[in-house]
């Protein structure tokens, strides 16, 4: 399969890609909100947006090191330079954020793209088996460790409150909207690549994207889900849209995603004039 990407960068298409990139930057620039809400809820402390966003966006670049875990290790490391943050609260907030993001993606994937998802699982039963096995293992692990988890939360003065539950709900809504916007961006890219109107398939595309996002997120060693998401979404949508079009679109989407991560980080530096020494002085 040979894809000539230069054909998609004509004069009018370049403007379209720039507009999509700007939307992508704006979306990534506010992705820190759920983490900030969890962090403030756990610490009962208000944090400036510029500090939390700086930590979030800088650590997000580390996901391109093999393994998504590096962005969270980086977040803990960078956050430790601020006197109001500690490893326990940062780690706990990251766990809540990650769980709410996965739940949101599964909801969008199952609801918005149920026909494609069911067909995919029926055709690739090994993936469904692996997913069920992972969820079963996770449930058993949580059940066996429930007392230790409760004791740990008690010792660290972490309480499951109504406010925390509400924050969890808000986070799920936020991530659902975020995934739908990313699905819309992917749909517009498909319209450019396929030179036809794919907007009627927006929800199906968003659902397939959400399923591929989960697959890339939980796969060990996948840098930002690179490779995994592309394969999964091609398997789900390849027959209905065409493998050439969906592969070209998802690769262009990935390219815009990487650029948006970089530009968002540069933007937070320019707008807030944040220097790394701020966190060293605050330690």
Residue 204 CA from chain centroid, whole number: 18
pLDDT at 228 over 90: no
Q: How far apart are CA 176 and CA 105, in angstroms?
A: 7
Residue 222 to residue 220: CA distance in whole angstroms: 6
**pLDDT tens figures, 166-211:** 999 999 999 999 999 999 999 999 998 888 888 888 988 998 899 8
Please give the model's pTM, rounded to 2 decimal places.
0.80
Q: pLDDT-based confidence at 42, cuts 50/70/90?
A: confident
What is the CB neighbour count within 10 angstroms for residue 119?
Answer: 14
Q: How far apart are CA 90 and CA 56, in angstroms?
A: 11
Q: Residue 72's pLDDT band (boundaries 50, 70, 90)?
A: low
- pLDDT tens track for 88-145: 778 888 888 999 999 999 899 888 766 666 666 666 666 667 767 877 887 887 777 7
Q: What is the mean pLDDT of residues 44-73?
A: 77
**Considering only CA atoms, which of 253, 283, 275, 281 is closest in space to residue 58?**
275
pLDDT at position 279 is 47
According to DSSP, residue 80 is labeled T
Average pLDDT, the chain: 80
- Residue 230's pLDDT band, with cuts at 50, 70 and 90, is confident
Name the residue with higher pLDDT: 23 or 225: 23
Q: Are 209 and 228 in contact (CB under 8 A)?
A: no
Give yes or no for residue 71 having a pLDDT over 80.
no
Rounded (5°) CA angle 50-19-186:
95
More confident residue, 4 or 250: 250
CB 246 within 8 A of CB 237: yes
d(C-alpha 194, C-alpha 248), whole Å: 9
Q: What is the structure's pLDDT at 117?
A: 64
Short-list 218, 237, 245, 251, CA closest to 120: 237
Pick the closest to residue 187 from 169, 204, 165 (CA basis): 204
């Amino acid at each position: 399969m040979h894809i000539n990407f230069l054909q998609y960068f004509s004069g009018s298409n370049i403007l379209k890609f720039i507009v999509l990139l700007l939307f992508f930057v704006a979306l990534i620039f506010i992705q820190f909100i759920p983490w900030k809400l969890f962090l403030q809820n756990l610490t009962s402390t208000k944090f400036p947006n510029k500090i939390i966003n700086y930590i979030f966006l800088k650590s997000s670049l580390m996901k391109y090191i093999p393994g998504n875990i590096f962005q969270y290790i980086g977040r803990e490391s960078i956050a430790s330079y601020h006197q109001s943050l500690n490893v326990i609260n940062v780690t706990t907030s990251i766990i809540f954020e990650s769980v709410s993001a996965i739940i949101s993606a599964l909801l969008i994937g199952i609801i918005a793209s149920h026909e494609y998802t069911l067909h995919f699982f029926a055709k690739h039963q090994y993936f469904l088996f692996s997913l069920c096995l992972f969820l079963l293992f996770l449930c058993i692990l949580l059940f066996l460790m429930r007392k230790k988890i409760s004791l740990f939360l008690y010792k660290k003065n972490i309480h499951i409150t109504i406010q925390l539950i509400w924050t969890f709900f808000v986070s799920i809504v936020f991530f659902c909207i975020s995934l739908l916007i990313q699905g819309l961006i992917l749909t517009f890219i498909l319209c450019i690549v396929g030179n036809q109107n794919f907007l009627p398939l927006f929800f199906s595309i968003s659902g397939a994207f959400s399923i591929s996002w989960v697959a890339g997120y939980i796969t060990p060693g996948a840098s930002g889900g690179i490779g995994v998401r592309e394969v999964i979404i091609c398997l789900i949508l390849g027959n209905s849209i065409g493998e050439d079009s969906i592969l070209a679109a998802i690769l262009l989407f990935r390219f815009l995603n990487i650029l948006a991560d970089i530009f968002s980080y540069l933007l937070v530096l320019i707008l807030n004039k944040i220097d790394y020494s701020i966190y060293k002085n605050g330690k």
